[in-house]
Structure 1
């Protein structure tokens, strides 16, 4: 029998040889124990109540919405090892529209919320006649039972679910399920929710809020006792108590009571300042944030840091909280969609780690030497321009090759200095030139003697 594009008959025949995997240390599912024996002492962490805690709700929805808003890109590695976005008819359609009733954002929110709330996300694949995955369905963890055969093969028993096209219970092999899990403390196939660690703090916060609600519903009047100066009969005490509860409690709190016979009212409830109500609520919220690795200021239970660099704050939040969840999703999709080597999925984190406008423009301005103008304009969602595919660099900058060649030449000149050139030889005059030179010197001598003689006669 073929169902959702795969054969389930082999799984049916192996059902007797498979055993279910416990969903926790003691098999708990809807009630968590904060410590061994807590359940027996009525210290219960009820799953549904924990989900209603404001801090726990805020952490889960913040993480799920931040991851869901990241666009899923299909990327391919080229010969240079660079990953660039691409399209593929076998993978792109299901990444763009996972199933018939969910958008990409709704699908990813369901994925992350299931993992945070139950520690496990089960995604059922639906294939076409070619065996290509065409639809993905996030299953309710309550409807999935993990099975392991005697030979170590993993199967999943799925209860009927008409929304995803399962009219009856079926057992499918692990190849048809994407199983994303984390915090596998007790079994490598069973993840654990952060509620296991933060559930008690969530229950404490709820208890404080419920108690405060009842207190203010009672007109903010604390409970107390009526005392008499002497002994009174039990019937009289019961009658006075009933009269007091009827006329001065609940909606009637705050009315004026007239006491006689020496009766005196004394409050028996501790003040909120004495019990440090606000500090306890803040502490419980911070503990919940720590289990999800969410900075408390992200959900409004602590003031934001004085740091003015928005990107640094987002990077801290990404690295300590979101990164492991995002990379796990990418790997699960790569393996679940059976992508070939050199192609994969990538969640676009640019929007998540976006800088403020001033810093972004400064970074793009400094990126002239590594990014083209079109690449920088694309970061601002602007189209390319003519000549924008060129990388610009100032003229005084030199390439690494030119600087290396210059240094090599200087080293060679230092090791092999060039000798100084020899002086030019003195030219030898010809015989005619020498005779003319001697004749000129003789005439000059005769003229000088004649001039000296004339000067002597004149004297």
Structure 2
């Protein structure tokens, strides 16, 4: 009976949950790591590799052209420039920031906290008039007694001076929520939290290197005296003030009274200090799936493969993030009726473009085979259109090409004409050429 009671309680909890979601319950556990260094979103950003990865991805998503389309009656698509959402997402989501800054901010939240939240402001008619970013570390995703999701946001004096420490409850239709990778499909987990030990080790290596140079870029050691020193702390402080610090590096030490300096530490080279730091940079780039050459590590990059690595960055790194953005915006910003007609699209074609010669060769193939016009090509190259009367919208093919079925008809006609000619008995060889050609006897 106890087993059945446990199972029934599980299903009751699933049907009517009252606790917060499992993803929302995840915490940093005070940010500690096995290296002994405190790791959170802000300390992690002090690492150059983390800062570089976050900046690369956030600026890449923010710099992509974001278009708002509608399906046309003929099965095509067109920009919905007359829809209010086009201006909000393409130009100004709110009066305080541009579209680039808005998307850069949300992408930074998504990379550091695993979630990006934005409050949706509507007018009295229910139309969206503004989008404002919300800090992920002050947002909690909960369920009510009926199992419905809601969002709780802790206000601060930075948000509104009239609300101090207040908690605002927002409904799902009032929040644009872009979750990252998570376990419950509702709330994403912070990549910084999940990889805090790797980042903590990188912070520890960086701090070790800084202290190494601060202590004179020389191994620590022991000062030996043949007798007894009455005040060893004074001798230690005198030695540190004279030879400690990078400004005192390589000074010549003069030892008196038979003192002897004995180093007790191995050099950073022998400890593979630089190799460890380089590996941690690769480790952080691996967390964000950023090619090493984009964070300044060109050891495994060359002119022959760096373009391919850039294409892989678009396909395997940017595309999943772009898909999260597009689907989250469709879910939160469009009505059920609008979802049948409208859609959002990030244009990544510019990042997939090859060099000039490769593009021209591809355009030539498309033009000669009839599936691109001159204006199609000029639009991709950001050139002005050729007027329609001048042939800018014509689709052309090579004149020496024909359909296979037409070639078969021609061959059949040729064989029939050959069969209708009389058999040559050899007597016509003596006749004039024009008579032999016409089959005269």
TM-score range (shorter-chain normalised) is 0.7 to 0.9
Q: Does the 8 Å CA contact 2:37/2:204 hold for their aligned counterparts?
A: no
**Matched residue, 1:365:** 364
Give the alignment of 1:177-192 within 5 angstroms: 177-185=175-183, 187-192=184-189
**Matched residue, 1:451:** none
Q: Structure 2: how far apart are the matches of 1:115 and 1:46?
A: 14
Correspondence 1:108 to 2:103: yes
Correspondence 1:319 to 2:319: no
Q: Does the 8 Å CA contact 1:49/1:203 hold for their aligned counterparts?
A: no
Q: Structure 2: how far apart are the matches of 1:104 and 1:331?
A: 18
Correspondence 1:52 to 2:51: no
2:280 to 279, 284, 288: 284
Give the alignment of 1:415-426 within 5 angstroms: none
**Matched residue, 2:202:** 205
For the aligned residue pairs, the C-alpha RMSD in angstroms reads: 3.1
Q: Structure 2: how far apart are the matches of 1:86 and 1:239?
A: 77
Compare 344-353 and 58-67 and name the one that shifted more. 344-353
**Matched residue, 1:86:** 80
2:154 to 137, 159, 165: 159
3-state DSSP of counterpart to 2:350: coil
Question: Offset of 1:245 from its aligned partner?
Answer: 3.4
Given the superposition, is the C-alpha separation of residues 75 and 267 from structure 1 closer, same or farther in structure 2, using an over 3 Å criterion? same
**Matched residue, 1:374:** 375
Question: Offset of 1:120 from its aligned partner?
Answer: 0.5
Q: Structure 1, residues 299-333: CA drift from partner, whole Å, max 9, x if none?
A: 10233633547653332111111110001101111
Q: Does the 8 Å CA contact 1:137/1:164 hold for their aligned counterparts?
A: no
Q: Structure 2: how far apart are the matches of 1:49 and 1:304?
A: 29
Compare 243-252 and 214-223 and name the one that shifted more. 243-252
**Matched residue, 2:400:** 396
Q: Structure 1: how far apart are the matches of 2:421 and 2:332?
A: 78
**Matched residue, 1:141:** 136
Q: Structure 1, residues 390-418: CA drift from partner, whole Å, max 9, x if none?
A: 011110112x4xx235547878999x999
Q: Does the 8 Å CA contact 1:115/1:180 hold for their aligned counterparts?
A: yes
Give the alignment of 1:25-36 within 5 angstroms: 27-28=27-28, 31=31, 33=33
Q: Does the 8 Å CA contact 2:373/2:394 hold for their aligned counterparts?
A: yes
Q: Structure 1: how far apart are the matches of 2:342 and 2:167?
A: 35
TM-score, with structure 1 as normaliser: 0.77
Correspondence 1:63 to 2:57: yes
Question: Offset of 1:123 from its aligned partner?
Answer: 1.2
1:218 to 215, 222, 245: 215
3-state DSSP of counterpart to 1:389: coil
Given the superposition, is the C-alpha separation of residues 161 and 366 from structure 1 closer, same or farther in structure 2, using an over 3 Å criterion? farther
Q: Structure 1: how far apart are the matches of 2:422 and 2:253?
A: 127
TM-score, with structure 2 as normaliser: 0.80
1:170 to 148, 168, 180: 168
Compare 345-354 and 97-106 and name the one that shifted more. 345-354
Q: Structure 1: how far apart are the matches of 2:65 and 2:295?
A: 23
Q: Structure 2: how far apart are the matches of 1:110 and 1:395?
A: 54
Compare 112-121 and 148-157 and name the one that shifted more. 148-157
**Which structure's CA Rg is the greater one?**
1
Question: Offset of 1:246 from its aligned partner?
Answer: 4.2
Structure 2: any 5+ residue segments left out of the alignment?
1-16, 424-441
**Matched residue, 2:437:** none
